[in-house]
Amino acid sequence: MNEQLLLGLLVVLPFLGFLFNGIRFTSKNYKLAGTVASTASGLCFLISLTLVAKLIGMPEGERVITSHFFDWFLAGDFSVSASFLLDPINAVMILVITGVGTLIHIFSIGYISHDERPSKYFAYLNLFLMNMLILVLGDNLLVMFVGWEGVGLCSYLLIGFWFSDPEKAAAGMKAFITNRIGDAGFLLGIFMLFLSFGTVTFSEIATRLPETAEMMWTGPITLACLFLFIGATGKSAQIPLYVWLPDAMAGPTPVSALIHAATMVTAGVYMIVRMSDVFVLAPLVMNVIAIIGALTALGAATIGMTQWDIKKILAYSTVSQLGYMFLAVGVGAFIPAMFHLMTHAFFKALMFLGSGSVIHAMADEQDVRKMGGLKKYMPITHFTFLLGWLAIIGAPPLAGFFSKDEILWYSFASPAGHWSLWVAGVIAAGCTAFYMTRLMCLTFWGESRVPKEVHPHESPVSMTFPLIVLGVLSVVGGWIGIPHVLGAIIPGHPPNVLEHWLEPVVRMLKPEHASAAVEFALMGISLSVAGISAYFAYDFYLVHKDRPTMVTKKLGGLYSLVSDKYRIDEFYFGRIINPLIDLSKGLWLYIDINFIDKMTYLASDMVKGSGQFLRSLQNGNLQQYALYISLGVVVTITYILMGS
């Protein structure tokens, strides 16, 4: 089977799964629906493995597989084709999307078993997978945009899946509308690149780039990159468009794992890495990206310390970890950004699915204050969640340690980096260790606070099997990207496989005058900060349980501000959304109703009146017709005489 056919099957298979379950969307046979959807996703993973194996077998500089399906449209010299491209960059993406996506599909079989519409749910999951694959495989910006919009639609359908609940329906609409704002920026960026280079195909843009970077905000590349980044802030939940992601928890928990870990939120990071050649020519925009990433990582981490909903804690954790990825691309560390994208997919999918297992066992309870002591009831969920906790706080040698510290190192030592960015990243890492340890203490350890009517139990095999696989990946997933400074002291000197894989196709701003001693010192500081934060969380929530209350009282208004999520939503509603609604109401009243409608009614009344007058002239009265003829003759003769 040739490579072009395999690339096509990556999209066709989930589409067939979508059609099968979509046609029978009223069926409640969750086993059949889940089996079909999981099989489609699993076959995509096997195809992805086959394609990546073919790439590995190619010479290093020639690792590209393309598939042209048809010419989309032609306009003069400009042409766009519906084509797919597979290279080392999106090879990582398709493995993560299909691999983690398949595990989420399998987990969903047990999770959604009691729902009224399992077939519709699995149809949406397959459609989501298909659009995400279109997004990452497209060989030009317009094909990418098709997938970009497709995942936006699917996120709306899945977040608002339980649409009969007004709050959940509103969450879906919030995600959809917020992403439309970012997508408008993304479209403007595409237009700017087309005006600058006359093409939207990635390979053609790369050959037409100037050699020198732009140092003015008015430069076309700078403006294009700024607009593209606006699109990324919407899709990947960065300041100021991050507000939709925490509310996305309204959907089924496996949906949260799919959106937050392996698919939609990584789209913005992937897009910037894909276009790294363009972004390095806009250093001003990269500075903005790094600052926004650092602020997002830090701000979301502080909010996570005050939340009580288990899914909301993980949601703000996702926003924070995405901030690390944008911090990385902002300082030119595109490969570490992809590395963290991959490792984060493993441990965050694990933790979201683990939270789903907990919620399933707790009869849909999500407040961690009503949990505790679940370790003895749910040993598999606890152990796998423990691995995810160790990975996300950066404990060596788990996956999160290698990718997070690589980003912190580049934020300090890269030519585009700065010590303040490193400080923000380290503080965010300390906050992460605190709130994730707090989550472990309140959920699995200590005394049970479970209501008497709830009887916790371990989840079925269909749910625990994906947890085990993701737990293993959370441990070993980072071993393919061991930094050189660590690889040099580890027996056997393991290479940085991921860097070697991506380096030929991804442009990097490497640290100048790098010092191994400085790198080890910075690594030691970040590990110490995380360890101390984790210890304090353990002490606060298991040993001296009165301390959290004392601290919150001392912090007073500051704690309230953080627990209210800095009141950003309230600001948006009070200063932007509601004034726009009031303005729209005014335009509707004075422009639409009092002007446009009245002018329309006036015109229609004139036409109606003239029609009635003309109709009155034709009433069948012969004497009246004779009068009209006589009058016409008189008027005509008078006109002739006056003219003469």
Distance, CA of 52 to CA of 91 (rounded, Å) = 6
Q: What are the tens digits of pLDDT across the range 245-258?
A: 988 888 888 988 88
Whether 512 shows a pLDDT value over 90: the answer reads no
Of 118, 93, 90, the C-alpha closest to 105 is 118
Give dist(CA 614, CA 623) in Å, integer.
Answer: 17
Tell me, yes or no, whether 410 and 518 share the same domain. Answer: yes
In this predicted structure, the answer to whether residue 268 has a pLDDT above a threshold of 90 is yes
Average pLDDT over residues 107-117: 88
Angle between the N-to-C axes of helices 118-137 and 30-56, in degrees from 0 to 180, rounded to the nearest 10: 20
Residues 452 and 599 in one domain: no
Predicted local confidence at residue 210, as pLDDT: 92
H-run or E-run covering 505: none
pLDDT at 251: 85
Residue 643 predicted with pLDDT over 90: no
- In this structure, are 360 and 250 located in the same domain? yes
Q: Are residues 332 and 443 in the same domain?
A: yes
528 and 577 part of one domain: no
For a pLDDT cut of 70, what percent of the chain falls above it? 99
In a domain, 485, yes or no: yes
pLDDT digits (tens, 9 = 90+) for 545-581: 888 889 988 888 899 999 999 999 899 989 898 898 8
Residue 536 lies in a domain: yes
Same-domain status, 384 and 465:
yes
Domain region containing 276: 155-162+233-556
Give yes or no: residues 367 and 446 share one domain.
yes
Q: What is the DSSP letter of 370?
A: G
Q: How confident is the model at residue 345 (pLDDT cuts 50, 70, 90)?
A: very high
Q: Which H, E and C letters describe 65-127, residue by residue?
A: EEEEEEEEEEECCEEEEEEEEECHHHHHHHHHHHHHHHHHHHHHHHHCCCCCCHHHHHHHHHH
CA gap 275, 81 in Å, rounded? 19
How many other CB atoms are found less than 10 A from the CB of residue 585? 11
Classify residue 595 by its DSSP letter.
I
Q: Same domain, yes or no, for 488 and 574?
A: no
- Mean pLDDT along residues 75-92: 88
| Per-residue pLDDT tens digits for 419-461 | 999 999 999 999 999 999 999 999 999 898 998 888 888 988 9
Query: pLDDT tens-digit profile of 269-323?
Result: 999 999 999 999 999 999 999 999 999 999 999 999 999 999 999 999 999 999 9
Q: Indicate the residue among 556, 589, 618 that finishes a domain.
A: 556
Reported as a single tens digit per residue, the pLDDT across 311-330 is 999 999 999 999 999 999 99
Q: SS3 of 201, please?
A: strand
415 within some domain? yes
350, part of any domain = yes
Give the separation between CA 122 and CA 36, rounded to whole angstroms: 9
Among the ranges given (102-111, 382-391, 533-542, 633-642), the one the predictor scored with the smallest mean pLDDT: 633-642
Same structural domain, 404 and 503: yes
Is 357 among the domain residues? yes
So what's the pLDDT on residue 644? Answer: 63
Residue range 127-138, pLDDT digits in tens: 999 999 999 999
Is 639 found in the same domain as 535? no
Q: Does the pLDDT at position 622 exceed 80?
A: no
Mean pLDDT of the chain: 91
User: Is it the case that residue 175 has pLDDT exceeding 70?
Assistant: yes
422 found inside a domain? yes
Question: Is-contact 323 294, C-beta < 8 A?
Answer: yes
Q: Tell me if 11 is assigned to some domain.
A: no
Tell me what pLDDT residue 103 has.
94
Q: Tokens representing 290?
A: 């790094």
Domain tally, the chain: 2
Which pLDDT does position 164 carry in this prediction? 86
The token pair at 584 is 């729209």
Q: Of 556, 579, 609, which closes a domain?
A: 556
The answer as to whether 14 is a domain residue is no
Which residue, of 556, 579, 599, is where some domain finishes? 556
SS3 label, residue 309: strand
Q: Name the pLDDT band for 379 (thresholds 50, 70, 90).
A: very high
Q: pLDDT at position 363, please?
A: 85
Q: Does one domain contain both 580 and 542?
A: no
Q: Is the pLDDT of residue 522 over 80?
A: yes
Question: pLDDT at residue 601 above 80?
Answer: yes
For residues 537 and 503, membership in a common domain is answered with yes
Q: Residues 529, 426: contact at Cβ < 8 Å?
A: yes
**DSSP, residue by residue, 134-173:** HHHHBSBHHHHHHHHHHHHHHHHHHHTTTTTSHHHHHHHH
